[in-house]
């Protein structure tokens, strides 16, 4: 398992194989996608907690992708290759984290944090004030020593909802490439 | 875990020392299990430690294990309906129970829970 930068692709749906630049693709060290995201065939892992999506993914998955599913859904595919059961998220236990009752992008983020890396980059992440953004911010606070990069394809205004989060940097694709190059040089 | 023949189950090592007939039966049974396992392509590890219940086996290929479980009747074997899977992420053993619920030619004839 590479621990350079773990990249997560969320549920927004803006990033597709068609608009994914070679520049960005080359900087995906370990790629985790939310469920059936358009990039699932390029991913190392796809995190899924929806039984229907899991059935589809098991039919369509690429050879390199390992599907990660909650225990009760994984049980159906125990005899298949390239599927694993979600790990136990011990760090999130005190917060009543339920892998069956969160979005697949939050599940992908929890998995990335469980795997562990000093830098986790979030792409194509959907923000929604009721549940998604608070859940995302909660996880960012649980891992204060991890640097999270909130990457958007194009330059835009800073998202103010993250103003109180010290371990998150907002950037566009070009800034991410520059950050990545610097980060890799440091190693 | 493949259960020993009924007469050999739950026998302590002390009992076995006094019962060469049972040891003979256990050895014969083990040899038969090894022969069956040899028919599969991927290597199957057979636990060398004596267990009072039966023989523990480790499989590298899920499909082959599925076939083995579905043919236990014709091989005259009885497998305890429990299986452990080593999670490649956490490297932990995750335990499941299972039940054969359908014909052997179908892919979803084993219910795992």
Q: Is residue A184's pLDDT more than 90?
A: no
CA Rg value for chain B: 15
Residue A1 lies in a domain: no
Say if residue A153 is exposed, middle or buried (CB neighbours under 10 Å; 0-12, 13-18, 19+). middle
Give contacts of A84 with chain B, Cβ < 8 Å. Answer: 87-89
- Substitution target in A79, A80, A82 with the highest count of B β-carbons within 10 Å is A79
In a domain, A48, yes or no: yes
Residue A15 maps to a domain: yes
Residue B106 placed within a domain: no
What mean pLDDT value characterizes chain A?
93
Q: Is residue A23 part of a domain?
A: yes
Number of folded domains that form chain A: 1
The answer to whether residue B105 sits within a structural domain is no
Residue A3 has pLDDT above 60, yes or no: no
Whether residue B32 is contained in a domain is answered as: yes
What are A53-69's pLDDT values in tens digits? 999 999 998 999 999 99
Cα separation, A75 vs A56, in Å, equals 16
Residue in A76, A80, A85 nearest the CB of B87: A85
Strands (E), A48-179: 66-69, 83-85, 119-123, 147-152, 168-172
Tell whether B94 lies on the interface with A, counting CB pairs under 8 A.
Answer: yes
CA distances from A84 to A9, A120, A147, B46 (A): 19, 21, 27, 24
Please give the residue range of the domain that contains residue B69: 2-80
> Is B49 inside any structural domain?
yes
Question: How much is the pLDDT for B11?
Answer: 95
Q: Given an 8 Å threshold on Cβ–Cβ distance, is B85 in contact with A78?
A: yes
ipTM of the modeled complex:
0.87
Q: Is pLDDT above 50 for A1?
A: no
Radius of gyration (C-alpha) of chain A in whole angstroms: 16
The pLDDT score that the predictor gives to residue A187 is 59
Q: Record the pTM.
A: 0.90
pLDDT level of residue A2 (50, 70, 90 thresholds): very low
Please state, in angstroms and rounded to a whole number, the distance separating the CA atoms of residues B99 and A182. 54
pLDDT tens, position by position, B26-63? 999 999 999 999 999 999 999 999 999 999 999 999 99
Range of the domain at A77: 6-186
Confirm whether A173 is domain-assigned: yes
Band of the pLDDT at B106, cuts 50, 70, 90? confident
Does the beta-carbon distance from A79 to B66 stay under 8 Å? Answer: yes
* DSSP-assigned letter for residue A16: -
Q: How many domains, chain B?
A: 1
Q: Would the CB atoms of B62 and A78 count as touching at under 8 Å?
A: yes
Predicted confidence (pLDDT) at residue A186 exceeds the cutoff of 70: no
pLDDT number for residue A93: 87
The reported pLDDT for the residue numbered A154 is 83
Using the 8-state DSSP alphabet, how is residue A11 labeled? S
Residue B59 lies in a domain: yes
Question: Which residues is A169 bridged to in the sheet?
Answer: A149
């Amino acid at each position: 398992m590479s621990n350079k930068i773990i990249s997560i692709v969320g549920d927004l749906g803006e990033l597709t194989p068609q608009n994914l630049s070679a520049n960005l693709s080359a900087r995906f060290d370990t790629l985790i996608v939310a469920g059936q995201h358009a990039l699932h065939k390029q991913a190392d892992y796809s995190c899924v907690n929806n039984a229907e999506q899991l059935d589809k993914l098991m039919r369509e998955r690429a050879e390199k992708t390992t599907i990660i599913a909650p225990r009760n859904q994984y049980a159906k595919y125990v005899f298949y290759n390239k599927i694993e059961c979600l790990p136990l998220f011990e760090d999130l236990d005190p917060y009543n984290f339920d892998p069956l009752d969160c979005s697949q992008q939050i599940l992908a983020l929890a998995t990335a944090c469980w795997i562990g890396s000093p830098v986790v980059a979030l792409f194509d992440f959907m923000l929604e004030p009721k549940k998604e953004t608070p859940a995302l911010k909660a996880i960012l606070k649980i891992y204060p020593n991890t640097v999270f990069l909130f990457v958007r394809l194009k330059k835009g205004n800073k998202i103010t909802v993250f103003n109180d989060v010290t371990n998150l940097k907002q950037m566009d694709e070009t800034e991410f490439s520059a950050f990545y190059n610097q980060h890799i040089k440091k190693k | 875990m493949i259960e020993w023949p009924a007469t050999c189950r739950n026998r302590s090592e002390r009992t076995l020392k006094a019962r060469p007939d049972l040891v003979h039966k256990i050895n014969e049974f083990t040899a038969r299990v090894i022969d069956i396992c040899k028919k599969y392509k991927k290597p199957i590890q057979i636990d060398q430690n004596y267990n009072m219940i039966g023989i523990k086996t480790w499989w590298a290929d899920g499909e082959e294990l599925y076939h083995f479980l579905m043919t236990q009747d014709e091989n005259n074997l009885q497998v305890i309906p429990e299986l452990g899977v080593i999670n490649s992420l956490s490297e932990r053993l995750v335990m499941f129970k299972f039940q054969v619920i359908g014909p052997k030619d179908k892919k979803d004839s084993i219910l795992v829970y």
